[in-house]
C-alpha cells in the first residue's frame, strides 16, 4: 500500500517502466495485431481485444495486450477492473490502476467507483479509501461504492462519519446510499452506539420522502431487528403500504431471532392467509427456526409437508433447519433419518446433527458424528467445536472435551474464540473442577467476555461456590449490566448459602437498575395448539383442575419419599406457602395440563425458557413413574427425557 501511495503522487515513471517490462513477452501482438481474428489496426487499436479477453476472464493476456495499447478507453479499463474483481486478484488490480493513472484516467469518477468496488472485492478497504481520498469529483456513485466497501469491512463508524460529511455537501443520498449506510450500522464493533446513527438515518429517510420505497424500508426494518428493537421494526413494517416477500421475511426473522417464536409463527400464518405472497426457502428457514424454539412438533410436521409440496426440500439451509426442528422436538431419530437421506451435506448439516445429539445428552454419539465428519473430508468450523464441546459438557465428558479443545489448534488450525473458552469453562465448571476452569480463564489470550464469566457463574450455582460467584458476577455486572439473569443467579447462590442479606442486596441491585427477572414460562403443544404457562398462573381457565391434580400427585409422591425443595424458594414465607409456590411452577402446570389433555401413551413434550429447577426435575421424574408417561422437557440449553422415574441427563445438567 505504501509503495503505491507514493508512486501515485510522485513516482509515475517507475510504474510505466515496470509495466512495459511485464508486457514484453507479448510484443508479437502489437507488431502485427491484424493477424489476430477480429482485430484491426484502426483507431480503436487493441481495445476490443482487451475487452473481450477481460470478458472471457483471460486477465493475464488482457494485461499483456494493454501494455502495448497507447489509447485504452474507459470501457477497456472498466472491464479489466471487473475481471480483477471477479478473480479477486489484487496484484492485477494494482497493475490496471497504475496503468489508468499513467493514462490520465485517475480523476474519472466512473472508474473510481469501479476501483473502489474492486478493492473492496479483494478485501483491501484501505486502498478503496485511498481512491476515494484522491478523487476530486465525488458523484453519489463514488460515495455509495465506498459505503458499500466500508460496510462489508464492518467499518460502521467510518461510514457514519463519512455519511454525515456527505450530508454537508450538495450531494444527496439515493436509495442505494440508505441501504448501505443502514447495513453499516449493524456491522460495527460497537453496536450500541450505532443504533442512534440508525435512527438518524431513519429520520433522513422520512425527510427525503423514501417511506414508500420497499427496499429501503425493508433494510430499515432489518437494522432495527438486528439491534433487537422489535417494536421499531414492527412499526416500520406496519407503516409499509407495499410489502413483498422480503419485507415479510425480515419481520418473521426479527421475531424468530428475538425470542418471539409465537409471533413469528403467527405472522407467517397471517402472510399465508392475508397476502398472496409465496413463501421462499428463506422464509421457511425462519419459520422452522421459530418452530424449533417452541419444540412444536405438529407445527413442524405441517411445515415439513409444506416444504415438500413447494419443492424446497433439497435446499441445504431448509434441511438443516428441519433437522433442528425434529431434534428440538425430541425426535432425534427423524433428524438422523433426514441427514442420512441427504445427497449433499455441508458443514452446517453435520453441525446440526452434532448439536442434536449434544442437547439430548448423547455426548459420545456427538463426538462420533464429529469424527465421521472429519473423516468424510469436511473441515470442522468454529461452530462444530462449539457444538461438540457443548455436547461433551452436557454429558460430562471432561477428558474428551479437553482433547478436542487441544485438537482445535494442533490438528484443525482453528484458534479458539471466546465462545470456545466459555464451553471449556462450562465443561470443567459443571464437573466441579472450578480451579481448572479459573486456570483456563487466566490463560486466555483475549479478554474473557460475558459468556465466559457467565459459564463460571453458572457452575458456581451448581456447586455452591459463593466466593468465585462474587468474582464472576462483579465482572458480569460491568460487562452486561442490563442482564437480569446474572443478578438473579447471584442472589440464588447467596440464598443457597443462607446469606440472606447478601441475597437481598443482589436483588436490590437488580431493581435499582430498573431490571426485572425474566419470568419462567413453559409451552406445551396439544392437538396442534400451543399453550403457554407462567408460574402461579391465575389466568389459566383450567388452573383449579391443574392445581388439584398436582396436589394429589404431590401427596402420593411424599409417601414414596419426595421432599419438596422448599429451600430453593427464597422468600420469607412459611413452608406451606413455599410448597404452594413450588407446586405452581410453570413446568409443573404444563405437565399437569399435558396429563389431562393428551391421550395415554403420547409423549408429553414441554419447552421452558429457563433452566429447569431442581424441584421440578425430581417431581417430573416421579410423575413419569407414577403415571407411566414419557415426558420430554426442553429447557434453555438441553433436553430432559423422563421415563420410569429417571431422566436422560442422569441428574447432571
CB of 21 to DNA, least distance (A): 35
Which residue in the set 247, 299, 336, 624 belongs to the binding site for DNA (CB under 7 A)?
A: 247
Contact between 366 and 391 (Cβ < 8 Å) = yes
Within positions 127 to 166, which residues make up the interface with DNA, using CB under 7 A?
140-141, 144-145, 148
The nearer residue to DNA, 356 or 589, going by C-beta atoms, is: 356
Reading the block at residue 148, the C-alpha cell is 458499500
143 CB neighbour count, 10 Å cutoff: 25
Residue 635 DSSP symbol: -
Within positions 62 to 101, which residues make up the interface with DNA, using CB under 7 A?
none
Within positions 459 to 498, which residues make up the interface with DNA, using CB under 7 A?
459, 476, 480, 483, 485-486
Which residue in the set 315, 466, 515, 568 belongs to the binding site for DNA (CB under 7 A)?
A: 315
201 binds DNA (CB under 7 A): no
457 binds DNA (CB under 7 A): yes
Contacts of 96 (CB under 8 A, 6+ apart): 63, 66, 77, 80, 81, 84
The nearer residue to DNA, 29 or 489, going by C-beta atoms, is: 489
Within positions 336 to 355, which residues make up the interface with DNA, using CB under 7 A?
346-349, 351-352, 355
CB of 381 to DNA, least distance (A): 6
Contact between 216 and 239 (Cβ < 8 Å) = no
* DSSP notation for 253-266: HHHHHTT-HHHHHH
183 binds DNA (CB under 7 A): yes
The nearer residue to DNA, 547 or 634, going by C-beta atoms, is: 634
CA atoms within 13 A on the CB side of 191: 9
Of 255, 217, 266, nearest to 237 by C-alpha is: 217
554 binds DNA (CB under 7 A): no
The nearer residue to DNA, 65 or 422, going by C-beta atoms, is: 422
Alpha carbon distance 365, 36 (integer Å): 64
Q: Among 57-65, 90-98, 315-323, 536-544, which window interacts with DNA (CB under 7 A)?
A: 315-323
The nearer residue to DNA, 102 or 313, going by C-beta atoms, is: 313
CB of 599 to DNA, least distance (A): 30
Which residue in the set 69, 124, 426, 579 belongs to the binding site for DNA (CB under 7 A)?
A: 426
Of 308, 309, 291, 287, nearest to 300 by C-alpha is: 291
CB of 231 to DNA, least distance (A): 18
Reading the block at residue 68, the C-alpha cell is 502495448
The nearer residue to DNA, 364 or 602, going by C-beta atoms, is: 364
* Binding flags for DNA, 209-228, as an x/- string (CB under 7 A): -----xxx-xx--x------
The nearer residue to DNA, 230 or 318, going by C-beta atoms, is: 318
515 binds DNA (CB under 7 A): no
Which residue in the set 69, 106, 121, 419 belongs to the binding site for DNA (CB under 7 A)?
A: 419
CA atoms within 13 A on the CB side of 141: 11
State phi, psi for 529 to the nearest 5 degrees: -110, 145
CB of 272 to DNA, least distance (A): 13
Q: Among 27-35, 65-73, 247-255, 586-594, which window interacts with DNA (CB under 7 A)?
A: 247-255
Within positions 364 to 383, which residues make up the interface with DNA, using CB under 7 A?
381-383
Residue owning grid cell 489470550: 445
Q: Among 4-12, 190-198, 387-395, 533-541, which window interacts with DNA (CB under 7 A)?
A: 387-395
CA separation, residue 69 to residues 99, 102, 103, 570 (Å): 11, 12, 11, 84
Within positions 628 to 647, which residues make up the interface with DNA, using CB under 7 A?
636-637
∠ Cα 69 75 76 (to 5°): 30
CB of 175 to DNA, least distance (A): 5
Alpha carbon distance 284, 641 (integer Å): 28
394 binds DNA (CB under 7 A): yes
Which residue in the set 149, 162, 184, 319 belongs to the binding site for DNA (CB under 7 A)?
A: 319
Of 42, 187, 39, 41, nearest to 50 by C-alpha is: 39
560 CB neighbour count, 10 Å cutoff: 10
CB of 454 to DNA, least distance (A): 2
Alpha carbon distance 166, 161 (integer Å): 9
289 binds DNA (CB under 7 A): yes
Residue 504 DSSP symbol: H
Within positions 263 to 282, which residues make up the interface with DNA, using CB under 7 A?
280-282
Calculated CA dihedral for residues 226, 230, 235, 237, nearest 10 degrees: 60
Reading the block at residue 198, the C-alpha cell is 440508525
The nearer residue to DNA, 622 or 639, going by C-beta atoms, is: 639
State phi, psi for 455 to the nearest 5 degrees: -65, -40
Contact between 417 and 379 (Cβ < 8 Å) = no
Within positions 26 to 65, which residues make up the interface with DNA, using CB under 7 A?
none
CB of 206 to DNA, least distance (A): 16
Cβ neighbourhood burial of 45 (10 Å; 0-12, 13-18, 19+):
buried
CB of 236 to DNA, least distance (A): 12
The nearer residue to DNA, 23 or 156, going by C-beta atoms, is: 156
The nearer residue to DNA, 480 or 502, going by C-beta atoms, is: 480
Amino acid at each position: 500500500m505504501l509503495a503505491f501511495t507514493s508512486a501515485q503522487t510522485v513516482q509515475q515513471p517507475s510504474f510505466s517502466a515496470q509495466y512495459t517490462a511485464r508486457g514484453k513477452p507479448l510484443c508479437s501482438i502489437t507488431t502485427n495485431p491484424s493477424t489476430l481474428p477480429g482485430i484491426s489496426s484502426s483507431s480503436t487499436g487493441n481495445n476490443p481485444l482487451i475487452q473481450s479477453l477481460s470478458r472471457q476472464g483471460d486477465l493475464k493476456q488482457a494485461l499483456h495486450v494493454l501494455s502495448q495499447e497507447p489509447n485504452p478507453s474507459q470501457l477497456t479499463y472498466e472491464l479489466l477492473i471487473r475481471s480483477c474483481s471477479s478473480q479477486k486478484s489484487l496484484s492485477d488490480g494494482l497493475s490496471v490502476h497504475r496503468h489508468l493513472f499513467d493514462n490520465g484516467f485517475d480523476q474519472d469518477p466512473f472508474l473510481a467507483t469501479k476501483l473502489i468496488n474492486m478493492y473492496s472485492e479483494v478485501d483491501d478497504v484501505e486502498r478503496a479509501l485511498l481512491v476515494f481520498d484522491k478523487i476530486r469529483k465525488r458523484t453519489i456513485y463514488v460515495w455509495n461504492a465506498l459505503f458499500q466497501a466500508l460496510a462489508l469491512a464492518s467499518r460502521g463508524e467510518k461510514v457514519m462519519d463519512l455519511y454525515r460529511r456527505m450530508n454537508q455537501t450538495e450531494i444527496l443520498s439515493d436509495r442505494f446510499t440508505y441501504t448501505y449506510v443502514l447495513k453499516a450500522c449493524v456491522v460495527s464493533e460497537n453496536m450500541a452506539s450505532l443504533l442512534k446513527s440508525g435512527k438518524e438515518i431513519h429520520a433522513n429517510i422520512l425527510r427525503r420522502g423514501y417511506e414508500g420505497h420497499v427496499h429501503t424500508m425493508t433494510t430499515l426494518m432489518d437494522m432495527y431487528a438486528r439491534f433487537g428493537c422489535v417494536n421499531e421494526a414492527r412499526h416500520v413494517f406496519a407503516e409499509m403500504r407495499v410489502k413483498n416477500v422480503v419485507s415479510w421475511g425480515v419481520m418473521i426473522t426479527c421475531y424468530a431471532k428475538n425470542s418471539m417464536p409465537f409471533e413469528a409463527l403467527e405472522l407467517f400464518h397471517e402472510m399465508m392467509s392475508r397476502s398472496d405472497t409465496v413463501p421462499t426457502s428463506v422464509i421457511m428457514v425462519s419459520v422452522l427456526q421459530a418452530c424449533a424454539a417452541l419444540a412444536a412438533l405438529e407445527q413442524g410436521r405441517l411445515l415439513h409437508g409444506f416444504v415438500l409440496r413447494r419443492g424446497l426440500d433439497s435446499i441445504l439451509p431448509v434441511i438443516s433447519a428441519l433437522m433442528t426442528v425434529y431434534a428440538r422436538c425430541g425426535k432425534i431419530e427423524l433428524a438422523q433419518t433426514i441427514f442420512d437421506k441427504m445427497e449433499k451435506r455441508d458443514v452446517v448439516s453435520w453441525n446440526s446433527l452434532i448439536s442434536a445429539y449434544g442437547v439430548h445428552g448423547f455426548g459420545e454419539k456427538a463426538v462420533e458424528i464429529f469424527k465421521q465428519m472429519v473423516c468424510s473430508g469436511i473441515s470442522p468450523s468454529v461452530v462444530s467445536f462449539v457444538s461438540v464441546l457443548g455436547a461433551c459438557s452436557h454429558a460430562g465428558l471432561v477428558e474428551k472435551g479437553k482433547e478436542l479443545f487441544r485438537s482445535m489448534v494442533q490438528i484443525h488450525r482453528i484458534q479458539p474464540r471466546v465462545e470456545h473458552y466459555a464451553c471449556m469453562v462450562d465443561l470443567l465448571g459443571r464437573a466441579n473442577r472450578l480451579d481448572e476452569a479459573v486456570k483456563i480463564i487466566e490463560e486466555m489470550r483475549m479478554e474473557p467476555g460475558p459468556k465466559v464469566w457467565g459459564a463460571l457463574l453458572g457452575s458456581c450455582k451448581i456447586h455452591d461456590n459463593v466466593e468465585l460467584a462474587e468474582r464472576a458476577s462483579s465482572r458480569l455486572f460491568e460487562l452486561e449490566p442490563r442482564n437480569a439473569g446474572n443478578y438473579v443467579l447471584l442472589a440464588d447462590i447467596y440464598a443457597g448459602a443462607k446469606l440472606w442479606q447478601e441475597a437481598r442486596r443482589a436483588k436490590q441491585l437488580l431493581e435499582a437498575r430498573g431490571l426485572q427477572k425474566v419470568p419462567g414460562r413453559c409451552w406445551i403443544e396439544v392437538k396442534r395448539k400451543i399453550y403457554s404457562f407462567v408460574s402461579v398462573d391465575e389466568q389459566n381457565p383450567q388452573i383449579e383442575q391443574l392445581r388439584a391434580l398436582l396436589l394429589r400427585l404431590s401427596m402420593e409422591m411424599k409417601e414414596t419419599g419426595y421432599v419438596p425443595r422448599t429451600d430453593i424458594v427464597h422468600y420469607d414465607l412459611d413452608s406451606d406457602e413455599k410448597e404452594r409456590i413450588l407446586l405452581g411452577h410453570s413446568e409443573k402446570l404444563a405437565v399437569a395440563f399435558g396429563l389431562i389433555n393428551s391421550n395415554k401413551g403420547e409423549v408429553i413434550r414441554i419447552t421452558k425458557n429457563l433452566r429447569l429447577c431442581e424441584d421440578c426435575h425430581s417431581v417430573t421424574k416421579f410423575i413419569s413413574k407414577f403415571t407411566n408417561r414419557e415426558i420430554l422437557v426442553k429447557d434453555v440449553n438441553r433436553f430432559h427425557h423422563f421415563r420410569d422415574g429417571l431422566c436422560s441427563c442422569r441428574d447432571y445438567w
